[in-house]
Amino acid sequence: MMRTYAGHSTAAKSNELYRRNLAKGQTGLSVAFDLPTQTGYDADHELARGEVGKVGVPIAHRGDMAQLMDGIPLDKMNTSMTINATAAWLLGLYVVAAEEQGVEEGALAGTTQNDIIKEFLARGTYAFPPGPSMRLIADMVAYTVTRIPKWNPINICSYHLQEAGATPVQEIAYSLSNAIAVLDAVRDRVDQELMGPVFGRISFFVNAGVRFVEEHAKLRAMGQLWEAIGRDRYGVTDPKHLRFRYGVQVNSLGLTEQQPENNVQRIVLEALAVTLGRSARARAIQLPAWNEALGLPRPWDQQWSLRIQQVLAFETDLLEYPDIFEGSTVMEGLVAELVEGARAEMAVVAEHGGAVEAVPYMKGALVDSHRERIRRIESGEQTLVGVNKYAETEPSPLTADAEGGILVVDPETEAQQRAAVEQWRSQRDASEVERALAELRRVAESDENIMEATIAAARAGVTTGEWAQALRDVFGSYRAPTGVGEAAGSDPAHPGDELDAIREEVERVSEALGRRVKILVGKPGLDGHSNGAEQIAVRARDAGMDVVYEGIRLTPAQIAASALQEGVHVVGLSILSGSHRELIPSVIDALREAGVDVPVVVGGIIPEADVEPLKSAGVAAVYTPKDFNLSQIMRDIVGLVGQQAATSA
């Protein structure tokens, strides 16, 4: 199956895009939701500011879902939804949209991502504490296995673990441990004879990096381990149920902002990793666009990615042979090594009490692995073409056009969506909504399956924010561990001369200030991609600073309050969702209003054209993925603090 991950702005615009993609030969839908929808807030919530319609489509109620699927026959469609914390709700809305088309829920086919552990570990769009989150997943699995049998209720993502820095062994071990946690929870909610079909419905969403031989071995290793888990732990015997089913999005972490055209060949090689050997071939492949590191891809960029797959499938002889690694001792050896490493790491997770309890451990381990990867790139041990080697380049015609080669979302979208939600609320039957929400709360407090009450709420016209708030009232809210406390300090085996020099500078400035240089690392908005912020936090500590890091999802008011109360000398903000234009100036306003007059630096996916406006809003420095040298960033930051100290003294 071929699809591209898509959705933006509004339900109507995304619907247009889907229809266009289907006409081009795409055979399924992959829906990207915006961050407020993913985390359970309506467009008019404070945290939604600047995020509406940015990384996907906003879906607030059944009306939005009906519009999103307008003219697309849902009984014939295979729809993949990248939705996790609010997956039960979005599936509910999809079922109701199908009802309105006259399609029975039993005829629906598709996938909800629904993998909450990787949200705690890597992606950050969680809404409820771990326990209740696992219960919602188990409810969905139990519901769909009988009522929507063609639905994949969960798609366990090793993908994001690799983006967060996981080694192949960690990727295998953590994702399979995660699957075990889910299956253990489901085991309590369904009859034993259903465990075979349940096991068979669990699918995976894996990553494929550019080291494509090892990556292929990784997939074979996962298949072997998965089958063993099914047989040994859950007593599954049907070979159909035991098959390791996976879809792929190839690696974005390795895509570069420098010479972005090179990303095309990286994507092709990564696609080979998941297609080369038939016995471990992906069922569905999504390829990222060549310019993902720059901003939101346009339809043309996505078409290019689709064409890569079509060339592989229809021009090459890739699909004509049985498994080409059958009997290869090199491949078998690689696979055996990965299986052994993964088993050992899974045992560590089990010792922590399973994947849910081991979240802080796994998070710390990932932050460490990522730190090591960055160190290797900085030191040149690992080559990134166009970044730390062969960096000279001719001017690129691809990025030369006016908007810098990326899609810009109309800022009016947010205001329109806010107004639309308010209007929706005013036009529905309020008493019916109240009844539905009361029932939802009752079920949430009980041990009953959440799905019926969720679908009823969708029918009654409840909004995404209301559904999530009802559950937050019952379950409580939650902040995931940041992993930075668990991460080790700089490795003494690689004494960084560079870091030592920066430490001296930190000491010097600290002496001048009278107390240690203190930095606040903040992530405003709903964007949960915290890898960059975590690496900055860890490196700042290693450089000798006191670091206040509070994790993701902070409002400008929270950041300002922390900066004031903590008495920091500099504020670093990280933002990857594209909402920097709105959020960064609000943070700066909030800081100045609180009387905090310290330098502010910003890092993230920031298009060149936005750099000057940010600087005139008061930002001292802007860093993008091309600034891979964290030590240089540290040097700049200490310099800024030193200057400030000199001028204010």
Partner 1 sequence: MTSEASTLAARLRDRDLSAAPAALNLIENRTRADDVAALVREVGTEARGHVIGVTGPPGAGKSSLLSALVRAWRDAGRTVAVLAVDPSSKRSGGSLLGDRARIEFDPADRGVLIRSTAAGGRLGGLAPATRAAAQALAVAFDVVVIETVGVGQSETEVAEVADTVAVIVQPGSGDALQFIKAGIMEVPDVLVVTKADLGDVALRSRRDLSAALRSLGARDTPVVAVSSVAPATGIDELVAALDAHRASLDLPARRAEARRTSALADFAAEHGERGLRALGGRRGALRFLAEQEPGLDVATLVERLEQRAEAAR
Q: Which two tokens stand for residue 377?
A: 């790139």
Q: How many residues bind partner 1 (CB under 8 A)?
A: 44
- List the one residue from 19, 307, 442, 479 that touches partner 1 (CB under 8 A): 479
List binders of partner 1 among 602-641 (CB under 8 A).
Answer: none
Q: In whole angstroms, how close is the CB of 396 to partner 1 at the nearest point? A: 39
Q: Which stretch binds partner 1 (CB under 8 A): 68-76, 272-280, 432-440, 544-552?
A: 544-552
Q: How far apart are CA 562 and CA 596, in angstroms?
A: 10
Q: How far apart are CA 221 and CA 337, in angstroms?
A: 9
Q: Is 316 in the site for partner 1 (CB under 8 A)?
A: no
Of 416 and 555, which has the nearer Cβ to partner 1? Answer: 555
Q: Is 538 in the site for partner 1 (CB under 8 A)?
A: yes
Of 197 and 354, which has the nearer Cβ to partner 1? Answer: 354
Q: Which two tokens stand for residue 424?
A: 């929706």
Provide the 10 A C-beta neighbour count for residue 173: 28
Q: Which two tokens stand for residue 613?
A: 């406006």
What are the E-state strand segments in 66-150? 78-82, 109-112
Q: Which of 265, 275, 264, 196 is nearest to 236 (CA)?
A: 196
Map residues 507-526 to x or -, x wherever contact with partner 1 holds by CB under 8 A: x---x-xxxx----------
Residue 28 half-sphere exposure toward CB, CA atoms < 13 A:
19
Q: In whole angstroms, how close is the CB of 48 to partner 1 at the nearest point? A: 17
- List the one residue from 24, 129, 278, 626 that touches partner 1 (CB under 8 A): 129
Q: How far apart are CA 15 and CA 359, in angstroms?
A: 37
Q: Which stretch binds partner 1 (CB under 8 A): 93-101, 110-118, 299-307, 499-507?
A: 499-507
- List the one residue from 549, 582, 620, 638 that touches partner 1 (CB under 8 A): 549
Q: 102 φ, ψ to 5°? A: 80, 25
Please, which residues bridge with residue 285 across strands?
Answer: 2, 248
Q: Is 564 in the site for partner 1 (CB under 8 A)?
A: yes
Q: Is 485 in the site for partner 1 (CB under 8 A)?
A: yes
Q: In whole angstroms, how close is the CB of 619 to partner 1 at the nearest point? A: 21
Of 395 and 489, which has the nearer Cβ to partner 1? Answer: 489
Write the CA distances from 469 to 127, 463, 490, 552, 621, integer angstroms: 9, 10, 41, 19, 37
H or E segment to which residue 287 belongs: none
Q: Is 583 in the site for partner 1 (CB under 8 A)?
A: no
Q: Is 545 in the site for partner 1 (CB under 8 A)?
A: yes
Of 67 and 558, which has the nearer Cβ to partner 1? Answer: 558
Write down the catalytic residue from 529, 549, 580, 623.
529
Contact 98, 45 (CB under 8 A): no
Write down the catalytic residue from 5, 41, 126, 143.
5
- List the one residue from 56, 544, 585, 642 that touches partner 1 (CB under 8 A): 544
Active site residue 523: yes
Q: Is 551 in the site for partner 1 (CB under 8 A)?
A: yes
Provide the 10 A C-beta neighbour count for residue 576: 21
Active site residue 361: no
Q: In whole angstroms, how close is the CB of 554 to partner 1 at the nearest point? A: 9
Contact 624, 606 (CB under 8 A): yes
Q: Which stretch binds partner 1 (CB under 8 A): 96-104, 198-206, 540-548, 623-631?
A: 540-548
- List the one residue from 37, 86, 530, 562 that touches partner 1 (CB under 8 A): 562
Of 403 and 445, which has the nearer Cβ to partner 1? Answer: 445
Contact 349, 229 (CB under 8 A): no
- The percent helix, strand, coil of the chain (3-state, each to 5) is 55, 10, 35
Q: Is 268 in the site for partner 1 (CB under 8 A)?
A: no
Q: Is 358 in the site for partner 1 (CB under 8 A)?
A: no
Active site residue 234: no
- List the one residue from 152, 482, 535, 624 that touches partner 1 (CB under 8 A): 482
Write down the catalytic residue from 8, 54, 118, 160.
160
Q: In whole angstroms, how close is the CB of 592 to partner 1 at the nearest point? A: 15
- List the one residue from 421, 468, 540, 620 that touches partner 1 (CB under 8 A): 540
HEC string of 345-358 equals: HHHHHHHCCCCCCC
Q: How far apart are CA 487 and CA 518, in angstroms?
A: 19
- Sequence-distant contacts of 316-323: CB under 8 A, at least 24 apart: 318/275, 318/276, 321/278, 322/278, 323/277, 323/278, 323/279
Q: Which stretch binds partner 1 (CB under 8 A): 91-99, 262-270, 281-289, 559-567?
A: 559-567
Write the CA distances from 304 to 3, 74, 528, integer angstroms: 12, 26, 28
DSSP H helices, 236-288, are 239-242, 262-273
Q: In whole angstroms, how close is the CB of 559 to partner 1 at the nearest point? A: 8
Q: In whole angstroms, how close is the CB of 470 to partner 1 at the nearest point? A: 13
Q: Is 105 in the site for partner 1 (CB under 8 A)?
A: no
Of 322 and 492, which has the nearer Cβ to partner 1? Answer: 492
Q: Which stretch binds partner 1 (CB under 8 A): 90-98, 254-262, 533-541, 637-645?
A: 533-541
Provide the 10 A C-beta neighbour count for residue 511: 10
- List the one residue from 100, 566, 627, 636 that touches partner 1 (CB under 8 A): 566
Write the CA distances from 322 to 217, 280, 281, integer angstroms: 16, 11, 11
H or E segment to which residue 579 belongs: none
Q: In whole angstroms, how close is the CB of 370 to partner 1 at the nearest point? A: 15
- List the one residue from 35, 506, 526, 575 that touches partner 1 (CB under 8 A): 506
Q: How far apart are CA 472 and CA 458, in angstroms?
A: 17
Of 80 and 490, which has the nearer Cβ to partner 1? Answer: 490
Write the CA distances from 568 to 216, 521, 590, integer angstroms: 47, 10, 15
Of 327 and 489, which has the nearer Cβ to partner 1? Answer: 489
- Sequence-distant contacts of 190-198: CB under 8 A, at least 24 apart: 190/141, 190/142, 190/145, 192/235, 194/145, 194/146, 195/234, 195/235, 195/236, 196/236, 196/237, 196/238, 196/241, 197/145, 197/149, 197/241, 198/141, 198/145
Of 129 and 341, which has the nearer Cβ to partner 1? Answer: 129
Active site residue 527: yes
Four-point Cα dihedral 15, 20, 25, 30, nearest 10: -30
Place of tokens 């019916």: 432
Write down the catalytic residue from 34, 527, 542, 546.
527
Write down the catalytic residue from 216, 363, 523, 580.
523
Active site residue 160: yes
- List the one residue from 490, 531, 535, 574 that touches partner 1 (CB under 8 A): 490
HEC string of 414-432 equals: HHHHHHHHHHHHHHCCHHH
Write the CA distances from 527 to 49, 207, 336, integer angstroms: 11, 20, 38
- List the one residue from 402, 426, 489, 647 that touches partner 1 (CB under 8 A): 489
Catalytic residue numbers read 5, 159-160, 523, 527, 529
The residue ranges that bind partner 1 (CB under 8 A) are 129, 474-477, 479, 482, 484-485, 489-490, 499, 503, 506-507, 511, 513-516, 537-538, 540-551, 555, 557-558, 560-562, 564-567
